[in-house]
Amino acid sequence: MAKRRDSKDVIGGFDALRAARQAHSDGLVPDVEVTREVIQQDGTRSVAHDSPGSRIKRTVMPTRQEIVCLECAHIFELSGRSDNTVCPKCRERLPIVDLTISDEWDDELYTAGTVTIEAGGNVIDGKITANNIILQGKISGGELRASRCITLECADEIDASLLNSLDLKIGAEQKQKLNGVCTHRNVDLAGELEAELELSGSLIIRESGCFKGSYTGPGLAVEEGGGLLADVYVQA
């Protein structure tokens, strides 16, 4: 991969990449070249140019991760393992720790890593701020704030106001009900979801997924086999 030093921020490069990757996997568009910012462990920054196809191969490497700044929402990629990093846009120092909650939780948490709330975990108060949050347990109070993605694996009824994230993901075999209006960028649905969604991006219903309720947003993709039983308002 060609690397070069470059002080220019590639704002939204990942948005473009993700959109292109999705469209590419859907067979909607030909390969396009995209740029993204890469930060090495020693702080060296570079801009990489590649196609969505070559990017997909690299995502399996465990030492690279996409981080959405907890403070300014700038999206960048971190290469190598580190327990902290500095946002290239706002210069905020971000701790990177992966944490697991396995019992009752009512405190503050702040990490640009991934927080997993296990099946025995129960968030009753406090605020959990992380790059990614995986909810396998319960939440009855407080707030989950994921700068990147919340993944729901709890099959429980949840108040949507407790879930604050850029993207939302619901795995296969999950039956989820969210009460109140859910506002996110993208929702990736492989299970069943009953909700009132207002998105700025797309609702993607996988072949195993089914959506009930109401949907408002600019993008909608339903794979063959996916279910849609909803009031739908798709607008550009």
Summarize as ranges the residues that interact with Zn ion (CB under 5 A). 69, 71-72, 74, 87, 89-90
Beta bridge partners of 182: 197
The span from the CA of 46 to the CA of 225, in Å, is 42
Collapsing DSSP states into helix, strand and coil, what is residue 77?
strand
Cβ proximity to Zn ion: between 89 and 127 the closer is 89
Min dist. Cβ of residue 148 to Zn ion (A)? 13
Q: Are 221 and 203 in contact (CB under 8 A)?
A: yes
Beta bridge partners of 67: 76
Min dist. Cβ of residue 115 to Zn ion (A)? 19
Cβ proximity to Zn ion: between 51 and 164 the closer is 164
Min dist. Cβ of residue 76 to Zn ion (A)? 9
Min dist. Cβ of residue 48 to Zn ion (A)? 20
Cβ proximity to Zn ion: between 73 and 155 the closer is 73
Min dist. Cβ of residue 90 to Zn ion (A)? 3
The span from the CA of 79 to the CA of 65, in Å, is 7
- Secondary element (H or E) of residue 97: none
Cβ proximity to Zn ion: between 149 and 203 the closer is 149
Token duo for residue 142:
């407080």
Burial-class residue 114 by CB neighbours within 10 Å (0-12, 13-18, 19+).
Answer: buried
Cβ proximity to Zn ion: between 68 and 199 the closer is 68
Cβ proximity to Zn ion: between 122 and 129 the closer is 129
Min dist. Cβ of residue 196 to Zn ion (A)? 31
Q: What angle do CA 157, 160, 165 make, to 5 degrees?
A: 125
- Secondary element (H or E) of residue 16: helix 13-25
CA 192 to chain centroid: 18
